[in-house]
Structure 1
Amino acid sequence: MTTATIPAAEQELSGALRERGLRVTPQRLFIYRALLRLDRHVSAEEVLAAVGESLPNVSLPTVYATLELFEEMGLVRRLGVTQGAVLYDPRPDQHDHRVCDRCGAIEDFEADLDLAAALRRAGRGGFHAGRAEVVVHGLCPRCAALAA
Structure 2
Amino acid sequence: MEAREQLKEYLEANNLKLTPQREKILGVFLELPGPVSAEGLLAEVGGDENGISLSTLYRALGHMLRAGLARRIQLNSGTALYEAVDGCCCHLICERCGRRVAVSSPYLEGMQEVAARQEGFVLHRCRSQLVGLCPRCAAEAGKKN
The TM-score with structure 2 as length reference comes to: 0.65
- Percentage of matched positions with identical amino acids: 32
CA drift of 1:110 comes to 5.0
Among 12, 35, 38, the alignment partner of 2:29 is 35
The answer (yes or no) to whether the contact 1:74–1:92 under 8 Å persists in 2 is no
The answer (yes or no) to whether the contact 1:81–1:135 under 8 Å persists in 2 is no
Q: Name 1:134's counterpart in structure 2.
A: 129
CA drift of 1:14 comes to 2.7
The secondary structure found in structure 2 opposite 1:78 is strand
The answer (yes or no) to whether the contact 2:99–2:134 under 8 Å persists in 1 is no
Q: Name the count of aligned residue pairs.
A: 126
- Unmatched 5+ residue regions in structure 1? 1-7, 118-130
Structure of higher RCO (CA pairs closer than 8 Å, 6+ residues apart): 2
CA drift of 1:68 comes to 1.1
CA drift of 1:36 comes to 0.6
The secondary structure found in structure 2 opposite 1:107 is strand
Q: 2: CA distance between counterparts of 1:100 and 1:76? A: 21
The secondary structure found in structure 1 opposite 2:61 is helix
Deviation per residue, 1:69-117 (Å, 9 max, x gap): 1111111111124424111120253422123567643222257266x69
The secondary structure found in structure 1 opposite 2:52 is coil
CA drift of 1:132 comes to 7.5
Q: Name 2:11's counterpart in structure 1.
A: 17
Q: 2: CA distance between counterparts of 1:43 and 1:31? A: 13
In structure 1, give the amino acid aligned to 2:91. H
What's the Cα RMSD here?
3.5
Distance 1:55 1:10, change over 3 A: farther
In structure 1, give the amino acid aligned to 2:132. H
Deviation per residue, 1:13-52 (Å, 9 max, x gap): 3344234321110111111111111131111111111112
The secondary structure found in structure 2 opposite 1:95 is strand
In structure 2, give the amino acid aligned to 1:47. L
In structure 2, give the amino acid aligned to 1:70. M
Mapping 1:27-106, distance limit 5 Å? 27-52=21-46, 55-91=49-85, 93-100=87-94, 104-106=98-100
In structure 1, give the amino acid aligned to 2:8. S
The secondary structure found in structure 2 opposite 1:33 is helix
